Structure 1
Amino acid sequence: MAGGERTERVAASPEACFALLLDFERYRTWQSTVRRCVVLERDDAGRGRVVETEIDLKVRRARYVLRYHYDPPRRIWWDYVEGDVRSISGEYRFDPVGEDATDVTYAVDVELGFAVPGRVARAVAERSLATALRELRVALEA
């Protein structure tokens, strides 16, 4: 299993962070690793409940389906349903800092389920954490 946790401060409210991450259909426009993202099922509030995503891991492409859970506007987390990886779980947390900033924490644990040396899996996970938060910050501050 590979994964980790990272926090980055962004110049946006927790509500803006939460809203950006709810817009699954736009992920391809600001997340460089996402090749496809489709909402398969929505909850009573219209938010994506079951979402299929295909990403480019550089070592290969992977498809997975996640079930999302929400605690607006403070937290979004997910559970693995199915796909090319063995398991994936994680969360985004949004902690306000003053009136115009948020500490965004991204945590993820992934078990790829295909042959990749442990150090490569850890490097992919670390790069994924850093890239996801950087791209989130850029999208929010644009």
Structure 2
Amino acid sequence: MARTSSDIVIDAPADEIMAVIADFPAYPDWATGVRVAEVVDAGTGGRADRVHFALDANPIRDEYTLGYVWDGDRSVSWELVEAGTMLTSLVGAYQLEPAPGGGTKVTYQLRVDVSIPLLGMLKRKAEKVIIDSALKGLKQHVEATRA
């Protein structure tokens, strides 16, 4: 599915981590570059089906809507359902599983395509930066709320 992937261990159970991932209005507090994350279709079970984002993550500045598919506290995947001006494709997922030493291993997979031509190497580097900053922000936010 994804072109780029990375993981991190968070000192919290999967349900607490997934609750933070599902709390879209709080994204500007911990997700680098996200100015707005507004639920446009609440879905069922308390987790959003569609979310509109305003992103300002240099060099990408855009507004777009993602559609989500939830698998309990095990995983969530998403894809672009309403493109912005710069993003032409965005497919990603978080997968959560128990970590061997305790806590939860969170794997983030991402594939992004933009309307401007970019070398594959630069695109993968941008995906890696997005993934790493998101995982670090998620870890810090989850662990700080547990302290």
TM-score by length of 1: 0.91
- Give the aligned length: 141
- Please identify, of 41-50 and 13-22, the stretch whose mean Cα deviation from structure 2 is larger: 41-50
Unaligned runs of 5+ in 1: none
Question: Partners of 2:60 and 2:96 in 1: how far apart?
Answer: 31
Unaligned runs of 5+ in 2: none
Question: Partners of 1:3 and 1:98 in 2: how far apart?
Answer: 26
Tell me the equivalent position of 2:131: 129
1:63 is displaced (CA, Å) by: 1.5
Question: Partners of 1:67 and 1:118 in 2: how far apart?
Answer: 25
Matched ranges for 1:1-142 at <5 A: 3-84=3-84, 85-97=87-99, 100-142=102-144
8 Å CA contact 1:41, 1:50 repeated in 2: yes
1:99 is displaced (CA, Å) by: 8.5
Q: What amino acid maps onto 1:44 in structure 2? A: T
Question: Partners of 1:118 and 1:4 in 2: how far apart?
Answer: 11
Q: What amino acid maps onto 1:42 in structure 2? A: A
Q: Show CA shifts across 1:100-130 (max 9, x none).
A: 5000000011111224444432221111011
Question: Partners of 2:30 and 2:51 in 1: how far apart?
Answer: 17
8 Å CA contact 2:34, 2:57 repeated in 1: no
1:98 is displaced (CA, Å) by: 5.7
8 Å CA contact 1:57, 1:124 repeated in 2: no
In structure 2, relative to structure 1, the CA distance for the partners of 1:109 and 1:60 (3 Å cut) is closer
Question: Partners of 1:98 and 1:19 in 2: how far apart?
Answer: 22
Question: Partners of 1:129 and 1:11 in 2: how far apart?
Answer: 19
Percent identity reads 28
8 Å CA contact 2:32, 2:57 repeated in 1: no
Q: What's the secondary structure of 2:49's corresponding residue?
A: strand
Question: Partners of 2:123 and 2:62 in 1: how far apart?
Answer: 13
TM-score by length of 2: 0.88
Find runs of 4+ consecutive structure 1 residues off by over 6 angstroms. none
In structure 2, relative to structure 1, the CA distance for the partners of 1:18 and 1:99 (3 Å cut) is farther
Question: Partners of 2:21 and 2:141 in 1: how far apart?
Answer: 11
